[in-house]
Amino acid sequence: MTQGLIQIALTLLILIAIVPFFGSYMAKVYLNQEMFLDRVLSPVDKVIYRLSGVQPRRSMTGWQYARAVLLSNLAMGILVFLIMMLQSVLPLNPTDLPSPSWDLALHTAISFVTNTNQQHYSGETTYSYASQMLALGFLMFTSAATGLAVAIAFIRGLAGQPLGNFYVDLTRSITRILLPISVVGGLALLILGVPETLAGPAVATTLEGATQTIARGPVAHFEIIKELGENGGGFFGINSAHPFENPSALTNLIETVVFLSIPTSLIYTYGAIIRNKKQGWLIFGMVFVIYAALIVISAAGEYAGNPLVNNLLGAQAPNLEGKEIRFGWAQTVLWAISTTGTMCGAVNGLHDSLMPPGGFSTLFNMFLQIVWGGQGTGTAYLFVFLILTVFLTGLMVGRTPEFLGRKIEKQEIVLASVILLVHPFAILIPSAVTLAFADTLSGISNPGFHGVSQVVYEYASAAANNGSGFEGLGDGTLWWNLTASLSLLAGRYVPLIALLILADGMARKQPVPETKGTLRTDTGLFTGVTAGVILILGALTFFPVLALGPIAEAFEIAAR
């Protein structure tokens, strides 16, 4: 156990060391401050703006920014859907894969354009190299950049600044952050054994004389943006548990740090943009404590193992079901909590095989969406909770609720409520319908309390734009493809529009001078109250579901 905890601790220390440097870099990117890449990339930006007709100095209103997001995402989604439906006649299809069904292609296009990458298929047997590279790989960059752009626009609005231009933020997110790191990271993964080839599958003869077909492809460049952009969709069906996506402990460390880097550093970026790094560090610390607590809960459950198995062995042994031995139980736990916290969704082990504490923690992450949150938009959820906390504490102490020098009024509370309420609606309603007709709709592979978790997890993953799953679920059906698509759309675009309108309203407010009666939001006390509000709201909304799923399963196992 000691070795496993040391591995987790070292990974977290590396992450903490990266945050101030990467967070400062992203602040410079979005504040348009001069940096070393500008000499090479500024001419590229100008060509992109000229060809697309973008006026880079023109700032957008909240509705204009939202409209630009929706129209661009719609166009990209249609393009990708067409590529997948035509893959049987397009090149780069060495295994002559047929086109997928329309409902699977629709779900995949929506899933990737929303930065979710929820997969109801196995990549190596469903989509050609052309579909994986030109369609899905393309969306891995643009969907991640869209989330970053919205988060930065939201931060600007909270700070009383113009929201900026979506197309400029999208371009700079790709050219200054995602693309440079992906080039370096892709080369590193290639050197460490991740393949990058357009050749078809390799055919090998086994020791028994049988023939084995080994899928391969252009994986290295796909893998790095999968992690960096918090996309999570695997080139292969078993995702980052596959040795061609994640061959060693070193690649596992690199990929873990990479997909944690942007959401954790964005909190520091927020502090830099509003010129209050103290508040940024306090929020970071609050989230880190919740994150660490969930790791401890899950680690305890996996290390203790399954009591039914332990009774058969006559000794305690960690739960190794569904885990890659080259990573072990500790790195699987760290990855599971991190990938559901950041909304990356990539997996290096089977979440369906986690013990109940692990299932509880992964579900809880996706219910809250703030540990560390999705690519950009999850960070914005944190600030929505800050606004709610300001409003509630203001009511309790009799002070006018203000945040960053601007009053919190009816419109802000209504929009914040919409942002937080759409999530449970997108999860609980379809889950209830599916469970009501479990025999015909659910695809549950493990009946009982675990089956409830399987169904709820799938919709939570879709609504939170996470993409991971309890993969025992039979989700490759018309019902799952269509209903999960609705949760994907609701979980992505309703909060996104509300965030931009809220930010635009805050930017237009006149700043209020700070007085002795102003409630400071950069104190340990306020941060602690915020943590309480987050946990209480999460518990009130989703505790009944957790009680019917992983909590009940834990009692059932303990009682045997």
Q: Is the pLDDT of residue 71 over 90?
A: yes
Element (H, E) at 403: strand 402-403
What tokens were used for 219? 């994986």
Q: Is the pLDDT of residue 377 over 70?
A: no
Q: Is the pLDDT of residue 378 over 80?
A: no
What per-residue confidence (pLDDT) applies to 67?
Answer: 96
- Span 402-431, average pLDDT: 90
Q: Do 467 and 233 touch, CB atoms closer than 8 A?
A: yes
What tokens were used for 205? 């003869």
Q: Is the pLDDT of residue 35 over 90?
A: no
pLDDT category at 519 given cuts 50, 70, 90 is confident
* Nearest residue to 424 (alpha-carbon basis) of 531, 545, 520: 545
pLDDT in tens, 230-244: 998 999 999 999 999
Residues 6+ apart with CB under 8 A from 350: 241, 321, 322, 323, 471
pLDDT in tens, 181-212: 999 999 999 999 999 999 999 998 888 888 88
Task: Indicate the SS3 state at residue 203.
Answer: strand
* Nearest residue to 294 (alpha-carbon basis) of 375, 364, 347, 378: 364
pLDDT in tens, 306-337: 888 888 888 888 999 889 888 989 999 999 99
The pTM of this model reads 0.93
Q: Do 294 and 337 touch, CB atoms closer than 8 A?
A: yes
Find where tokens 């799923």 sit.
549
Alpha-carbon gap, residue 197 to 247, rounded angstroms: 16
Lowest model confidence (mean pLDDT) among 31-45, 265-279, 394-408: 394-408
pLDDT category at 531 given cuts 50, 70, 90 is very high
How many alpha carbons fall within 13 Å on the CB side of residue 374? Answer: 34
Alpha-carbon gap, residue 288 to 281, rounded angstroms: 10
* Nearest residue to 458 (alpha-carbon basis) of 468, 446, 448, 472: 468
Residues 6+ apart with CB under 8 A from 516: none
Alpha-carbon gap, residue 119 to 129, rounded angstroms: 16
Task: Indicate the SS3 state at residue 147.
Answer: helix
Mean pLDDT of the chain: 91
Residues 6+ apart with CB under 8 A from 220: 186, 187, 189, 190, 194, 195, 196
Q: Is the pLDDT of residue 376 over 70?
A: no
Q: Is the pLDDT of residue 393 over 90?
A: no
Task: Indicate the SS3 state at residue 230.
Answer: coil
For the chain, give the percent of residues with pLDDT over 70: 98
- Span 70-91, average pLDDT: 95
What per-residue confidence (pLDDT) applies to 106?
Answer: 96
Neighbour tally for 516: CB within 10 Å: 4
pLDDT category at 539 given cuts 50, 70, 90 is confident
pLDDT in tens, 99-147: 999 999 999 999 999 999 999 999 899 999 999 999 999 999 999 999 9
What per-residue confidence (pLDDT) applies to 69?
Answer: 96
What per-residue confidence (pLDDT) applies to 375?
Answer: 66
